[in-house]
Structure formats: C-alpha cells, structure tokens
Structure 1
Amino acid sequence: MIVAAFPNATLTVGPLTLPNRVVLAPMAGITDAPLRRMAHRYGAGLVISEMVASEALESGHAETTLRAEAAGVPVHAVQLAGNQPASMARAAMMAEASGAALIDINMGCPAKRVTTGLAGAALLRDLDLATAIIAAVVGAVKVPVTLKTRLGWDDSGLIAPELARRAADIGVQLVTIHGRTRCQFYTGSADWRAIASIASAVDLPVLANGDLVAAEQVPAMLAASGGAGVMIGRGAQGRPWFPGQVAAYLAQSPDARHVPADPSLAEQCDVLLELYEDWLSHYGVDLGRRQARKHIGWALEAAAVAAGRAPDALAHWRKRILTQDAPREVRTGIRAAFDELSWSAAA
C-alpha cells in the first residue's frame, strides 16, 4: 500500500510545499532514519528526526550525530533540543550544513531527564529564554524553523498562545501543539479544543498533535483544533504506514471518505523484516538488534489487531523473539509469528 501524494491537500512551510498535511512526529529513540524512510514511503507528508541534543551534536557525540543523519527523504528535517541559545544556533547551523531543509525546536518533551536540564517542556516556565532560543535559531539558518510544544507546563500556566505569537513574530514558519500540559505527560486525553486558542493567535500553520490513532478521528481533530494539519506520534508505533493512511483519508471528498486498508499481513511482515535489516545496517548489529526490539513488539501488537485478534495475541512470540540475540533467529521468529496470524485469519 504505497500512498501517493495528494496535491489538493498540501501544506506550505516557508518555501517548502509538503505533499500532504500529515507529519510523523519526532520521537526520541523511535523516529530514526530507517523508520522515517519507511513512513515516507507509505505517504507521510513530512518525517522529522528524533530529538537531537544541541550540545551533544556540537561535541560530535556519535549516537547524536547518527540521530541527525539524513534519511534519504525529500525534506530532511532535524529536531533540536537545548537550553542555551548560542548552542542551539550552532547546532542548527551544523544541521543545515549537513543537508537539513527544516529545523524543528523541541519545547514540549516532558521527560524528566530533559526537563531537569531545563530543556524541552521546561522552557514553558521561562518564556524569555524560550524566545531567545527561537530568535537564535531563526537568525542562524536560512531554512525554515518550526516549533513543537505543549499547552503549558501545567493547568495554571497555559502559555502556548503567547509563545506561538512570539515565535511567529520572530519568523517561525509552523507550530505544532500537543494538546496536553507537561505535567500531564501522556495521561488523560489530549485536549484538541485547547489547541484552537493557539491556531487563532497566529497567522501561520498550526499542527494538532495527541491521541490520533485512527484515520476516522482526523476530521474531528481538525475541526476542534482549527489546525492546518496533524502530527502523529504514538499512533504510528508499529504502523509506519499510518500517517500515509491518514493523509489518504483526509484527501478524499468529505462525503465519500473511507479508510484505506491496512497492508496485508504478508506485507506487514515484509516491512518489519526490511526495517530489521535496516536497523542492523544503520546502527551495527549489536546496537541495531537492541534498537529493533521495541519496534518488533509494537509491530506484532499492530498485526494482531489488524488480524482481528487481541493486541497480546502474539505475546508468546514477542517474548521468544525479543530474547533472541542472533539475527537469524529473530528473522525466523518474525516469519513464524506472522504465519500464525495468517493461519488463524484464514481459519
């Protein structure tokens, strides 16, 4: 299921015209180059690197440099995180020099290890520092700069509209809002309606993010948020085709929409095996097989649901595969797990 671009559903970000309004979110430890390539193949309008720490990129840290590596997609987008304007500016210049066509600034990551360092969502408690960082990055590069953030640090400080206004005045080209506060982490439900206050505060595209896990949800998400498009994070875990599936749904006539079918189980198996080989090549065998484990687990859950089974229907295979170190045994286990699903679906 390769999803084509839909010219009637494009999204403009500065000088860039994206083929559709659905973006794969930058997710730390997840949206590496292999996954970005696969999501792009299936029709995501834009794929963004996992979060890259600015100071680590400056220092030449090997794994950080790998996170910022181009994935061989039309628009190489790098997300940067940090709390020092000068460091963020230098890292942005490094990314641009390495081929980045878009720089995204992370001001939304809720992880304690990030916010303890006064980066990510911690910047929602210091608007002046956040503004200085945005200005430094925009002033350092010629490519479009975008911003991803949350509604605020907590319910008493919903400052996203003011932050978005400042970002727009400085020259940011697009803002993505996750419809939760930092203190919510990922609990409860994303508040799509709250995003509308940001969309109405700025004259630039705003993407709505949070809890989009089925294509049928996208009209309601856009109507509630006033967003120009959507960003998909956890909904794509184990399903790299999902952003493209949403884009195809969104591009259809509103009175005749239908959800494109998931790839067949055989195709899902092939996708996972291809990604596994890509991870081994990208990271090297030792690190690659460790990086692959979480993705394999998510893919088996997604396949079980696609086959009409409970998400844990392949739990026995998941345990067996994820405790294997030999790539040959992992490949054999993946094929056997999908064979079991195919047999049960045909029964």
Structure 2
Amino acid sequence: MKIKDLEFNHIAFLAPMAGIADLAFRELCVQYGAAYTVSEMVSSKGLTMGDKKSAQLLTLGNDRPAGAQIFGDDPEIMAKAAVKCLDFNPDIIDINMGCPAPKIAMNGGGASLMKRPELAYEITKAVVQAVNIPVTVKIRKGWDEESVNAVEMAELAEKAGASAVAVHGRTRQQMYSGSVDFDIIAQVKKAVGIPVIANGDIKDEQSAAIMLEKTNADAIMIGRGALGNPWVFSKINAYLDECRVLPEPSITQKMAVMLKHIQKIIEYKGEYTAMREARHHAAYYTKSMRGGAKLRAEIGKLERFEQLQELSYKILKEYE
C-alpha cells in the first residue's frame, strides 16, 4: 500500500477523531500496529490566525507515518493552513470533507462540502498546489440519501491532484447510525485510480476482512472500533497477513494498557485535563465488564490518576 511515494507496512489505519485521537492515543495505536494515523482536525482559519490550540493538535511524535488534518471552506485559507502544517513535519495533509458534527458541517466545513463539489475541487486543488507532500481527502457517501455523490467527489479529488481518498460509507444525515454502504465505497474504488481507504463500522478482524472483500479498497480506517481497543490493529494485521487469530487480551492486560494510555495523556496535557479525558477512555476500556452501572458512576468522578489505579485494582480483584 502506497500513497504517492509513502509506503505503509500494513493497511489498517487509525481514523482522525476529534477529542479522541490525540498524540497519546495515536502513539498507542501505532505500538499495536496501526500503519498510519491522522491528527485531530484543525480549523484552517484558527491555524492561519496563530491559534495555540490548533498548534497543539498538530504536534506529532512517535505516531509516524502521520497526517495533519485541516478543515474549512475557503481555498486560499486552506492553502495557507496547509503550508503552516508543514512546520509540524507531517507526512500527508488530509482535508476533512466528511465531519458530520453540526458546529463544523453547519459552518461550511466538513461534510457540508459534499453539497458543494465545485468548491471541494477548488479547495483540494489549492492545497495540492501549496505543498510538496501528498494530499488526501476524507469524504462521506453523500449529504443525504437524495444526494449520494461520493463517486463524483472522489473523481474531483483525483482531478485536483489528491493522492488518495478515504470514504465513510454513510451520509452526513446518518451521522454514525444505520448501516455502512459497502457498495458506494466499491463504486468509488472502480471510478478512481488513486488509493481508496474504506471507513465505517470496522471493529475487529472479521469486519475488516468483510470491508475489504466487499469494496476492494486499498486500505481500511478504524475509528470508534479502536476506542478502548488499540490492540485491534495487531489483531487485524495478524488476520489479514497470516490468517492468524490473536487471543483477546486478558483483563489484566486491558487494565495495564488503560493505565499506560492515561499516563501518557497526563505527560502531554497535565493531570487535570487528562483525567477528565480519561473518563471517556476508561468507559470504553471497561465496557461489558461486571458491575457496569457502578463502574460508570466511579469513572464519571475520576479526578486523579490514583483513583483510576484504585479502580483498576478493584476490577482485577473482581475477576480473580
């Protein structure tokens, strides 16, 4: 699998997720075999105006190869933002044309560009011309079922010079509900000559294999399926490369990884911020464990790392 001259060891990528796929999580997923990661999305306007938070979101580390993702609806500003991204030495510039969040899509960015193919083309073209590294585009099936245009969008992205396109097989109106449309991703794959990355509902080896079989995509992108489950990449890699099924990690291993993950967030962001973010991550790491309601109540009150350690010890004792 290659995007322009950039070669990947495997084909399971980590999807960009705002508020989730920060540097700590990206590095953890790479340790478990994610072949590629993308930063949390950054506002092109904020970045060009020197916003400090935007710069923090673009900080890369041991999460290579990695892309910097930007969003916006002005070709000139997007091009300037892409140039600023180069200060962080990304391997790829990724343009978000698929985010369904109202605060993004209702303000001209993200999935709203699915309704404006011509503008999407101009944005991609401007960014491609502004930088000397590969540019990729992330899209959806369409805005709604009455305006399914992923094929048109992908063809325009290729025409504008994009080196790859990632397709989430749902419309913006679906958000993350309903079923993923394998057929639309397959149609995109047939229509363009650049690599196509399939996204949506990939959570394990079986769903990864089904996605590849039904779409013929060049790679797959895992988002929510990696939450509390970073080892999903090593499991998918073993299955696709060697037809081998790795065992599910033990409760002890899960708790150890959870603590390691939160420690890394603390290192990057400080305990106050990290422990509030830890509530979300811990809920995923402990999903389906005994005493769910009580666990969730305790997780919702986490303020110090010691509390998380105590909670993990309680869980381990429950499973002795």
> Under TM normalisation by the shorter chain, which class is it?
over 0.9
Pick the aligned partner of 2:274 from 270, 275, 288. Answer: 288
1:325 matched to 2:303? yes
Pair 1:272 & 2:235 matched = no
For residue 287 of structure 2, give the secondary structure of its aligned residue in structure 1: helix
What SS is found at the alignment partner of 1:100?
Answer: coil
Within the candidate set 96, 99, 108, 1:109 is matched to 99
Query: Does 2:287 correspond to 1:301?
Result: yes
Structure 2 residue aligned with 1:8: none
Mark the runs of 5 or more structure 1 residues left unpaired by the alignment. 1-10
SS at match of 1:184: coil
The one-character-per-residue Cα deviations of 1:148-202 (angstroms, maximum 9, x if unpaired) are 1101111121111111111112221111100011111111111112211100010
Conservation of the 8 A alpha-carbon contact between 1:68 and 1:78? yes
Task: State how far apart, in whole Å, the 1-side matches of 2:177 and 2:160 are.
Answer: 32
Q: State the match for 2:316 in structure 1.
A: 338
Over aligned residues, Cα RMSD in angstroms? Answer: 1.5
Matches within 5 A, 1:182-331: 182-252=172-242, 257-301=243-287, 304=289, 313-331=291-309
The answer to whether 1:81 aligns with 2:71 is yes
Q: 2:41 aligns with which of 51, 54, 76?
A: 51
Change in CA separation of 1:321 and 1:149 when aligned onto 2, cut-off 3 Å: same
Q: Find the residue that maps to 1:208 and give its secondary structure.
A: strand
Q: Secondary structure at the match of 2:170?
A: coil
Of 176-185 and 239-248, more deviation after overlay is shown by: 239-248
Quote the Cα distance in structure 2 between the aligned partners of 1:79 and 1:123. Answer: 15
Q: CA deviation at 1:33?
A: 0.2
Deviations 1:254-306, CA, capped at 9 Å, x for gaps: xxx2321222222211111111111112112221111221011111116x3xx
Distance 2:122 2:165 in 1: 17
TM-score normalised over the length of structure 1: 0.89
Letter in 2 for 1:47: T
Identity among equivalent positions (%) equals: 34
Residue 164 of structure 2 is matched in structure 1 by 174
> SS of the residue aligned with 1:188?
coil
TM-score of the two chains, using structure 2 as the length reference: 0.96
Counting matched residue pairs gives 320
> 2:95 & 2:250 partners in 1: Cα distance?
37
2:29 corresponding residue in structure 1 = 39
C-alpha separation in 1, matches of 2:304 and 2:20: 22
Find the counterpart in structure 1 of residue 108 from structure 2: 118
Q: Return the letter of the residue paired with 1:326.
A: R
Equivalent AA in structure 2 for residue 84 of structure 1? D
Equivalent residue letter for 1:265: I
Q: What is the Cα deviation at residue 41 of structure 1?
A: 0.2
In structure 1, how many angstroms separate the alpha carbons of the residues matched to 2:109 and 2:119?
A: 10
Distance in 2, Cα, partners of 1:138 & 1:332? 50
Is the 1:180–1:186 contact (alpha carbons within 8 Å) kept by the matching residues of 2? yes
Query: Which residue of structure 2 aligns with residue 6 of structure 1?
Result: none
Matching residue of 1:3:
none
Distance 2:124 2:9 in 1: 26
Secondary structure in 2 matching 1:207: strand
Distance between the aligned counterparts of 2:198 and 2:308, measured in 1? 37
> Structure 1 residues 176-185 or 86-95, which shifts more?
86-95
Residues 94, 184 of structure 1: alpha-carbon distance in 2 compared, 3 angstrom cutoff = same
Contact 2:23 2:63 (C-alpha < 8 Å) held by counterparts: no
1:158 and 2:148 aligned: yes
